[in-house]
C-alpha cells in the first residue's frame, strides 16, 4: 500500500512580533487577496488552514469588507479552514479563564461562517499546559497539535534531534486521566514549506523531507506543513504536488487539511504509541530554549494583564451576575467586547513580551480599553446592586455603602472608600463659591458601623472638597462640588462572593480605644496573635508562625545579577556575581500602627552596575547566540534603592509586601529570595486549572544553569507538617533553588533586544523607570494548606465599594451569592450562562490526587454539570474528582 503525504497549506499568522501590528496586518491582507485569487483560478489549490484562529478574518474584513462574501463561501465550502480559537494564545501567561474564553469566542466566531476545525491547535505555544487533554475533551475536541514542549526548538525555529517520544503521534494524558490524541510537529510546522517545482530541486527536497517525516511517523500517513511564520502563499503548490506524484510513484501526494489527515492517521495507529503526561515544557532537554524566561520579560505587561483579567473575570462578570439577580440585564455583549480587546494581547509573541517596542506600546492601549469597559460594568452593576439592597436598618443621617468581595475566599484586611458627605450643585452656586461654602462648613466626627450598628475599626484619613459630576440616564450632566471623607475600614473574614453593607455615621464623641501596638518595642518588627515578624541586622526578615512554632529566617533578600540574554532567555553575565541586599545598608521606619494593622517600610540601599560592558552590544549586533556570549557587567556602579512596605493584619496569617524602585540600570535581573525551610524534592505552583507539581531538580539532560518556571497566583513548598506559600500579583516567573529549596521570585528583568532569528533592538525592554511589585508570604500547616493557596490567588482581586442611600430593598443587607464548603475547590468564574438561562460557576480541584465532597450553592438554585462550552453533561453529584475542572450551571 502506498504511503500518503498530506500537504497542508497554511501561514503561521503572528499578529505582531518583529514588526508592529499594522506592518504584519497589511501582509495578512495581501495573503487573503492571494488566497482568493488561488481559490478562484486554480482548481488544484483546494484548501488553506487559517492557523487555528479566527481573528485574521476580522483583520482582513476591516480593510476589505467587500470580500466578506467570497471568504464566507470558501469557509462554507470547506476550503478555508478556520478556528477553533479566536487567537493563538500563550498557554501559561494568561489566566485559566482567558484560555477558555479564547475557545468560546473562537468557536462562536467560527460558527458565524461555518464550522471550526476540530483540533486544539498550539503550533508555537511556549510549552503546553498540563490540563490541555481535559480542556480539549470538555470543548468537544479529541486531538491537539503542538510544536514545543517535547523536543528542543532553537534559533530561527531550528529543531534539534533529541526527542523523548518514539513517534510524532502520541497519546496525551492530563492529570485527571483525560486523554487525547497528540500530534507533535516533530520537524516543525514548516516541514513542507516552499516545495520545489523543478525535478532536481524537488528530488533533493523530498528525499530529505520524506526521510525526516518517516523518522517519527507511526503510520504510512505523512504530514507536510506547507507554510511558516507569515509565509506568503505558495501559489504553485498544485504543480509541486503533481511533480512529486510523478517522481515518487510509491507515494501519494495530496493537497489536504487536518480533518482528512487526522481521520487517516488515527485509523492506523500502532499499539505501542507512547503516552506523555501533564504539562509539556521541554524539561528533558538542555534547558536553554524552553522560553520560560518570557514570563519575566517586560514585567509591567504581566502586571497590566493580571490587573485587566481581574477586572473582567474576578470583578466585572461576578458583580454583573450579582446585579442580574437584582434585576439588571447582564451585559454579555459589552463584556465580550472587553474580552476581545484583552485576548488580542494574548498571542504568545504579545503577552510573552518578546516583540519590538511598538508592539508592546499598543498592547498597553488594549489593556486600558478592556479595563475601562470592565470598570464601567463594575460601576453600573454596583449602582444597580446598591439600589436593590435593603439599607433601612441604618439611622437617619447615616451614609450607607456596600462592599463586594468577589474573590474566591473570605477577605481580612482594609477597604479604602471615598464617601460623599455633602455637595453643592453648580446650578446653585458658582464653582468657587460652592468650593468655599463646603470648605468652610464644619465637619463632624465619624465612625463606621455594620448593619447591626456595631462599630468597626476605621480611620478617617482625609476630609476634602473636590469636583464631581453625575451622568443621569435621562438628563444632561450634573456638575458640583462635594465634600468627601476618605476612610479606611478594617474587615475580618468578609465572606467570598458576597455583598455586605456598612455606613458612615456622625457621632458627637469618638469611642475610646485601648491602643495596643503590634510594632515591636525596638521598631524592628511586628507581632500579632498569629505571627512574629522581625527584621534582622542584615536587613533580611524572619517570620514565626505561632500556631506551629515554625520560624523561617533569611527571608526577603534581594538578589541582583547581570543579564546578557534577550526577551526570550535569561543568561547571566560571565562574572557570575550575585549582589545581595544583605551586603548593603538598610533603614526601617514605622508607617502605620493601629490595633489591627501594622506597617513597616524597609529600605535597602544597594549599589549595582549600570549595565553590561560594551562587548554585549557587539555580541547583539553579530547575532551571537546567547549560550555563546561572554559579556560581563560594567565596572560603573550606581545606587539602586528598594523600598518595601511590609503589612501585617491582626487577624491574618499572611505577610504582604509592596516593593517600589526606580530602575535606571540595564542588563540585569532582580529577584527576591524566600528560603522555604522545607525538605522536599518537588514543589507546587498555580498553573492553568491546576496546582501543578514540579521537580526541584533538573533532568540529566539539562545544561542551563537556571531552571525558570511559570506561575500565576502562587508557588508552594511543603512537607508532611509545614509549608510556605509565596503569592504574587503579575509576577509570573520563579525558580526553586534546590540546594536549600529557596523560592526565588523574579521582580524585574532588563534586556535590550528581542532575540530569536536576528537583531531587533528593544530599549524599552530595559524597563527603566518607577515600578511597584506586590507579593505575599504565608506559612501554613496541613490544615491550612488549601486556604493559603486561595488567599494567595485572592491578592489580585480587590474589594469594590459603592455609596448608596437609606432605603428598603429586595436584597438582604448582607447577601452571599455563592457559597461553598471546601477550600480544595478554587472558583475561577461566576457569570451568566451563554444561553442567558442560568448562572455559571466554574472552578477546579486544587489537588491532582485527592477527590473530595463539595457543597456548592448559588442562591438555592438547582445545578447541572456542563462542559467548558456550557453544553449540558450531567446532574451535579457533589463529588469533585482529582484535578477536575468543574463547570456548573444554576437555574
Q: Each residue of 789-808: pLDDT tens digit?
A: 999 999 999 999 999 999 99
Q: What's the whole-number mean pLDDT along residues 405-428?
A: 98
pLDDT of residue 462: 97
What is d(CA 570, CA 579) in angstroms, rounded to the nearest whole number?
Answer: 17
Stated as kind and residue range, the H or E segment containing 884 is: none
Residues in contact with 319: Cβ distance below 8 Å, sequence separation at least 6, in sequence order: 377, 378, 381, 382, 385, 404, 406, 800
What is d(CA 875, CA 887) in angstroms, rounded to the nearest whole number?
Answer: 11
Residue 157 has pLDDT above 80, yes or no: no
Tell me which residues are annotated as active site.
124
Reported confidence tier of residue 376, pLDDT bands at 50, 70, 90: very high
N- to C-terminal Cα separation, the chain:
56
What is d(CA 611, CA 300) in angstroms, rounded to the nearest whole number?
Answer: 20
> In 10 A of CB 146, how many CB atoms?
23
Please list the alpha-helical segments (H only) found in 556-671.
Answer: 615-621
Q: Supply angle C-alpha 13, 18, 21, rounded to 5.
A: 60
Sheet (strand 637-649) strand order: 586-593, 597-609, 637-649, 654-663, 769-781, 722-728, 714-718, 682-687, 690-695
Q: Each residue of 577-620: pLDDT tens digit?
A: 999 999 999 999 999 999 999 999 999 999 999 999 999 999 99
Q: Each residue of 511-568: pLDDT tens digit?
A: 999 999 999 999 999 999 999 999 999 999 999 999 999 999 999 999 999 999 999 9
Q: What single-letter DSSP state applies at residue 139? A: T
The pair phi, psi for residue 322, each rounded to 5°, is -55, -45
What is d(CA 377, CA 486) in angstroms, rounded to the nearest whole number?
Answer: 23
What is d(CA 801, CA 191) in angstroms, rounded to the nearest whole number?
Answer: 56
Domain ranges of the chain: 3-282, 399-512, 817-890
At 634 the three-state DSSP class reads coil
Enter the C-alpha cell of residue 230.
507569515
Q: What single-letter DSSP state applies at residue 572? A: B
pLDDT of residue 165: 60
* Overall CATH class of domain 3-282: alpha beta
What is d(CA 694, CA 711) in angstroms, rounded to the nearest whole number?
Answer: 11
Stated as kind and residue range, the H or E segment containing 847 is: none
pLDDT of residue 69: 98
Residue 153 has pLDDT above 90, yes or no: no
Residue 162 has pLDDT above 50, yes or no: no
Stated as kind and residue range, the H or E segment containing 431 is: helix 431-440
Q: What is the mean pLDDT of the chain?
A: 97
At 314 the three-state DSSP class reads helix
Q: Each residue of 196-242: pLDDT tens digit?
A: 999 999 999 999 999 999 999 999 999 999 999 999 999 999 999 99
Return the bridge partners of 481, or none.
Answer: 424, 467
Q: Each residue of 106-122: pLDDT tens digit?
A: 999 999 999 999 999 99
Look at residues 635, 585, 582, 643 and name the one whose alpha carbon lies nearest to residue 610: 635
- Based on its alpha-carbon atoms, the radius of gyration of the chain, rounded to whole angstroms, reads 29
The maximal CA–CA distance of the chain, rounded, in angstroms, is 99
Residue 159 has pLDDT above 60, yes or no: no
Kindly report the pTM of this predicted structure. Answer: 0.97
Reported confidence tier of residue 151, pLDDT bands at 50, 70, 90: low
User: Under CATH, what is the fold of the domain 817-890?
Assistant: Immunoglobulin-like (2.60.40)
Residues in contact with 255: Cβ distance below 8 Å, sequence separation at least 6, in sequence order: 7, 9, 44, 45, 46, 47, 237, 238, 241
Stated as kind and residue range, the H or E segment containing 75 is: helix 68-76
Enter the C-alpha cell of residue 428.
446653585
Cell 476545525 sits on residue: 117
| The two domains 399-512 and 817-890 share their CATH topology (first three levels equal) | yes
Write down the CATH number for the domain with range 399-512: 2.60.40.2210
pLDDT of residue 543: 99
What is d(CA 889, CA 885) in angstroms, rounded to the nearest whole number?
Answer: 13
Provide the pairing of β-strand 48-49 with 80-81.
Answer: parallel
Enter the C-alpha cell of residue 188.
516543525
Q: Give the percent of the chain with pLDDT over 90.
A: 96
Amino acid at each position: 500500500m502506498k504511503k500518503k503525504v498530506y500537504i497542508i497549506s497554511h501561514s503561521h499568522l503572528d499578529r505582531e512580533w518583529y514588526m508592529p501590528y499594522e506592518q504584519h496586518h497589511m501582509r495578512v491582507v495581501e495573503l487573503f487577496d492571494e488566497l482568493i485569487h488561488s481559490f478562484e483560478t486554480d482548481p488544484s489549490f483546494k484548501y488553506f488552514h487559517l492557523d487555528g484562529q479566527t481573528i485574521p478574518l476580522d483583520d482582513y474584513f476591516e480593510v476589505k469588507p467587500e470580500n466578506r462574501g467570497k471568504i464566507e463561501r470558501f469557509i462554507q465550502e470547506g476550503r478555508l479552514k478556520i478556528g477553533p480559537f479566536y487567537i493563538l494564545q500563550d498557554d501559561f501567561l494568561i489566566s485559566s479563564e482567558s484560555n477558555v474564553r479564547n475557545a468560546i469566542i473562537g468557536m462562536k466566531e467560527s460558527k458565524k461562517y461555518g464550522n471550526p476545525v476540530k483540533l486544539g491547535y498550539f503550533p508555537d505555544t511556549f510549552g503546553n499546559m498540563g490540563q490541555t487533554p481535559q480542556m480539549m475533551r470538555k470543548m468537544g475536541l479529541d486531538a491537539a497539535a503542538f510544536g514545543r514542549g517535547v523536543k528542543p526548538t532553537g534559533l530561527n525555529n531550528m529543531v534539534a534531534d533529541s526527542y523523548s517520544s518514539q513517534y510524532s503521534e502520541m497519546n496525551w494524558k492530563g492529570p485527571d486521566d483525560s486523554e487525547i490524541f497528540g500530534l507533535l510537529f516533530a520537524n516543525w510546522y514548516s516541514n513542507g514549506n516552499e516545495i520545489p517545482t523543478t525535478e532536481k530541486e524537488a528530488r533533493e527536497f523530498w528525499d530529505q523531507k520524506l526521510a525526516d517525516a518517516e523518522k517519527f511517523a507511526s503510520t504510512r500517513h505523512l504530514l507536510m506543513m506547507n507554510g511558516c511564520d507569515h509565509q506568503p502563499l505558495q501559489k504553485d503548490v498544485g504543480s509541486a504536488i503533481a511533480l512529486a506524484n510523478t517522481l515518487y510513484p510509491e507515494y501519494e501526494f495530496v493537497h489536504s487539511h487536518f480533518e482528512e489527515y487526522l481521520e487517516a492517521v488515527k485509523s492506523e495507529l500502532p499499539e505501542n504509541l507512547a503516552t506523555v503526561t501533564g504539562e509539556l515544557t521541554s524539561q528533558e532537554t538542555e534547558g536553554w530554549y524552553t522560553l520560560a524566561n518570557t514570563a519575566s520579560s517586560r514585567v509591567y505587561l504581566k502586571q497590566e494583564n493580571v490587573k485587566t483579567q481581574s477586572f473582567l473575570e474576578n470583578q466585572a462578570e461576578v458583580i454583573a451576575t450579582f446585579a442580574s439577580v437584582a434585576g439588571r440585564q447582564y451585559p454579555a455583549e459589552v463584556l465580550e467586547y472587553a474580552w476581545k480587546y484583552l485576548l488580542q494581547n494574548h498571542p504568545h509573541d504579545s503577552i510573552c513580551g518578546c516583540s519590538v517596542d511598538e508592539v508592546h506600546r499598543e498592547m498597553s492601549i488594549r489593556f486600558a480599553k478592556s479595563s475601562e469597559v470592565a470598570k464601567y460594568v463594575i460601576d453600573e452593576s454596583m449602582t444597580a446592586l446598591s439600589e436593590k439592597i435593603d439599607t433601612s436598618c441604618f439611622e437617619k443621617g447615616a451614609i450607607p455603602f456596600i462592599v463586594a468581595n468577589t474573590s474566591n475566599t473570605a477577605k481580612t484586611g482594609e477597604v479604602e472608600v471615598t464617601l460623599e458627605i455633602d455637595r453643592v450643585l453648580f446650578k446653585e452656586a458658582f464653582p468657587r463659591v460652592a468650593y468655599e461654602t463646603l470648605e468652610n462648613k464644619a465637619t463632624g466626627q465619624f465612625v463606621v458601623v455594620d448593619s447591626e450598628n456595631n462599630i468597626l475599626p476605621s480611620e478617617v484619613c482625609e476630609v476634602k472638597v473636590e469636583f464631581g459630576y453625575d451622568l443621569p440616564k435621562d438628563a444632561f450632566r450634573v456638575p458640583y462640588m462635594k465634600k468627601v471623607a476618605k476612610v479606611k475600614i478594617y474587615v475580618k473574614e468578609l465572606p467570598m462572593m458576597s455583598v455586605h453593607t456598612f455606613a458612615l455615621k456622625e457621632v458627637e464623641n469618638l469611642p475610646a480605644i485601648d491602643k495596643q501596638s503590634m510594632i515591636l518595642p525596638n521598631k524592628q518588627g511586628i507581632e500579632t496573635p498569629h505571627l512574629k515578624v522581625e527584621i534582622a541586622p542584615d536587613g533580611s526578615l524572619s517570620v514565626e508562625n505561632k500556631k506551629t512554632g515554625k520560624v523561617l529566617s533569611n527571608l526577603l533578600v534581594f538578589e541582583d545579577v547581570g543579564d546578557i540574554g534577550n526577551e526570550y532567555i535569561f543568561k547571566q553575565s560571565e562574572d557570575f556575581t550575585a549582589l545581595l541586599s544583605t551586603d548593603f545598608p538598610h533603614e526601617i521606619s514605622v508607617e502605620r500602627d493601629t490595633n489591627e494593622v501594622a506597617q513597616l517600610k524597609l529600605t535597602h540601599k544597594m549599589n549595582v552596575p549600570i549595565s553590561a560592558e560594551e562587548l554585549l552590544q557587539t555580541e547583539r549586533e553579530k547575532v551571537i547566540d546567547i549560550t555563546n556570549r561572554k559579556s560581563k557587567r560594567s565596572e560603573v556602579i550606581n545606587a539602586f534603592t528598594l523600598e518595601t512596605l511590609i503589612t501585617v493584619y491582626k487577624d491574618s496569617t499572611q505577610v504582604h509586601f509592596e516593593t517600589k524602585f526606580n530602575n535606571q540600570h540595564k542588563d540585569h535581573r532582580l529577584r527576591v529570595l524566600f528560603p522555604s525551610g522545607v525538605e522536599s524534592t518537588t514543589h507546587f505552583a498555580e498553573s492553568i486549572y491546576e496546582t501543578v507539581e514540579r521537580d526541584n531538580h533538573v533532568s540529566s539532560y539539562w545544561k542551563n544553569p537556571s531552571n525558570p518556571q511559570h506561575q500565576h497566583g502562587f508557588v508552594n513548598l511543603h512537607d508532611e507538617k509545614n509549608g510556605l506559600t509565596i503569592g504574587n500579583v503579575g509576577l509570573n516567573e520563579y525558580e526553586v533553588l534546590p540546594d536549600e529549596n529557596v523560592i526565588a521570585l523574579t521582580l524585574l528583568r532588563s534586556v535590550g533586544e528581542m532575540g530569536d532569528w536576528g537583531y531587533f533592538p528593544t530599549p524599552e525592554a530595559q524597563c527603566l523607570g518607577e515600578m511597584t511589585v506586590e507579593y505575599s508570604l504565608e506559612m501554613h500547616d496541613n490544615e491550612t494548606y488549601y486556604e493559603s493557596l486561595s488567599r494567595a490567588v485572592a491578592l489580585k482581586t480587590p474589594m469594590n465599594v459603592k455609596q448608596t442611600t437609606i432605603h428598603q430593598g429586595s436584597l438582604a443587607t448582607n447577601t452571599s451569592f455563592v457559597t461553598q464548603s471546601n477550600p480544595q475547590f478554587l472558583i475561577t468564574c461566576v457569570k451568566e450562562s451563554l444561553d442567558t438561562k442560568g448562572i455559571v460557576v466554574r472552578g477546579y480541584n486544587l489537588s491532582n490526587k485527592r477527590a473530595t465532597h463539595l457543597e456548592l450553592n448559588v442562591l438555592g438554585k438547582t445545578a447541572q454539570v456542563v462542559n467548558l462550552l456550557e453544553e449540558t453533561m450531567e446532574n451535579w453529584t457533589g463529588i469533585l474528582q482529582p484535578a477536575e475542572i468543574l463547570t456548573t450551571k444554576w437555574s
